[in-house]
Structure 1
Amino acid sequence: MKHVWTAFWIENLKVRKSKMIWVTLAAFTFAPFMAGFFMFILKNPELAEQSGLVGEKAQILGEANWPAYFSMLAQIIAVGGILVFGFVASWVFGREYSDRTLKDLLALPYHRTTIPAAKFLTVFAVNLLLSIHVAVVGILIGWFVGLPGWSTAGLAEGLAVLLITTLLAIALSTPATFFACWGKGYLAPLGFVIFMVVIAQVTAAIGYGQYFPWAVPALFSGVAGEAPVLPWSSLLLVLTASLAGIAATLSWWLWADHQ
């Protein structure tokens, strides 16, 4: 376990020194600003039209209040998070192949599962911090816009939905790590993530989203306009997909012929 934490510290140092995390952070920060912009338009439709922020024929449906705002933030994390979290996972595992540093890691006097275990912890920590950043920025923007309907109970419920949605989206980033190892870089995992997002949209549209793991976070966030309640079988599918990704990645590091 000591070696895992040492490797975890090194992986976090790689992330902090990389431009990738700052670019990703900037891109993800744009999401709560867009959510706040939509809330401002819904709250002040006439002012937004007179100031030229929206066109006369623009149609933005919804309510401008804190529950609706938290639901929008959860949907952003559910859909955008799968892409962003998958990108982070792809980078953490795929960079060793692109930078040709895998042979150096394999030469370390550690068990072969130590490095990928540290990488998984890094992916979880980075993605969780990204979601916390989005939630904090989003709440500040909501206060600035002056949304009605604030309450302690509503805050607790909204944050709970955000947290569960985040954990579901992070869990679904683990299969991308296997494709990063199998594809020896970034392209294969990114292609996999994008393909899963497309299939998730299709399955949700035809009413079978609860049976497809990558559609579950969006459904839980209320993207379909329903309460964030799903059967345990859907959550079990997400857990199964996540564990399968972890097992496949560890197996690759253990038994693959690394050239």
Structure 2
Amino acid sequence: MKQLWSMIKIELYKIMKGHIPIYILTFYTFLIFIHMQDKTWEAFLSGSFFMYSTVIGLIGFSILSTWVFGREYEDQTYKDLLALPIPRTSLVTAKFLAIELTFVAITVIALMVTFVLGYCFNLSDFNAYLVGNIVKRLVIATFYNIGLSFLFPFIASMVRGVLAPVSISFVALIMAVVFGSKSVGPYIPWAIPGIYLSNPQLITLVSRMSISIIVLIGVYGTILWWNYVDQK
């Protein structure tokens, strides 16, 4: 456990040095100003959180997940990692845990930024119950987005780079936008977070299972790839 935590701290340090979380939060802050015309807390939070879930959650999270694994191939440092006397599964697990912790931290900071700016915009009709319900939906939608982002390290490992998975993340966003308002939307994994934010009742057990399948493919696929394919 101590070794795993040490590896997680190293991965967190790499992520911070890459400045990607800062870029993500800066871009989200820019998106919030699009909703300066909103007059009520409900409209402001609904619009801001929807953008966070669809744009930041799908593209931002996917890019960061891709970078954590893909940069090892881009910089040719994966050979050094594989040469370490550390189980490959532990290496991959540490990376995934570091990614998840970073996403949680980004979401917490994004929430604080949203409420601070909402206060500065002098919004009306603040309702603690309503705001709490919207925040709760965002938290659950964020965990859906985190699960979906775990597919991209597997893709980055297979193609040994970042370009392909980053391109696929934009395709995922397009799918979310196109199918989000369709009846088939709750069965398209990348459309589910946005749908859950607007209408949680539409999300079924099948919807959650589809995300679980993506998580399993991403996590176990990456572990198997680093243990066997990249050993050759």
- Smaller-chain TM-score range? over 0.9
Describe the superposition over 1:217-247 as per-residue Cα deviations: whole angstroms up to 9, x where unpaired.
011111xxxx332222212211221122111
| Residues 1:116 and 2:92 are matched in the alignment | yes
Report the equivalent of 1:67.
42
- Once the two structures are superposed, the pairs formed by residues 188-207 of structure 1 within 5 Å of their partners are 188-207=164-183
Query: Identity of paired residues, percent?
Result: 30
What corresponds to 2:226 in structure 1? 253
2:67 aligns with one of 61, 84, 91 = 91
Q: Deviations over 1:60-111 (max 9, x none)?
A: xxxx322222211221122111100001101111110111111111111111
Kindly tell me the number of residue pairs found equivalent between the two proteins.
230
- 1:167, distance to aligned residue in structure 2 (A): 0.9
Q: Is the 8 A contact 2:71 2:162 kept in 1?
A: yes
Distance apart, 1:179 and its partner CA: 0.7
Kept in 2, the 8 Å contact 1:92–1:119? The answer is yes
Supply the RMSD in Å over aligned alpha carbons: 1.6
Structure 1 stretches of at least 4 aligned residues deviating more than 4 Å after TM superposition = none
**Residue 206 (structure 1) shift:** 3.5
**Separation in structure 2 between the aligned mates of residue 27 and residue 69 of structure 1, nearest angstrom:** 17
- The structure with the largest helix share of the pair is 2
Structure 1's unaligned 5+ residue stretches are 40-63
User: Contact 1:127–1:170 (CA<8 Å) still a contact in 2?
Assistant: yes
- Correspondence 1:1-259 to 2 at 5 A: 1-35=1-35, 37-39=36-38, 64-80=39-55, 81-222=57-198, 227-229=199-201, 230-258=203-231
Larger Cα-atom Rg: 1
Q: Distance in 1 between matches of 2:19 and 2:111?
A: 22
Q: State whether residues 28 and 52 of structure 2, in contact with CA within 8 Å, keep that contact through their aligned partners in structure 1.
A: no
Separation in structure 2 between the aligned mates of residue 116 and residue 188 of structure 1, nearest angstrom:
20
Write out per-residue CA displacement over residues 115-159 of structure 1, whole angstroms, 9 at most, x where no aligned residue: 111110111111122222221111111111122221221232121
- Equivalent residue of 2:195, what SS? helix
Structure 2 regions of 5+ residues with no counterpart? none
Normalising by structure 1, report the TM-score. 0.83
SS in 2 for 1:148: coil
Spell out, residue by residue over 1:13-56, the C-alpha distance to the aligned partner (whole angstroms, 9 max, x if none).
11122233332332232222323x131xxxxxxxxxxxxxxxxx
SS in 2 for 1:214: helix
Whether the 8 Å CA contact 1:74–1:161 is kept in 2: the answer is no
Alignment CA distance shift 1:208-1:26 (3 Å): same
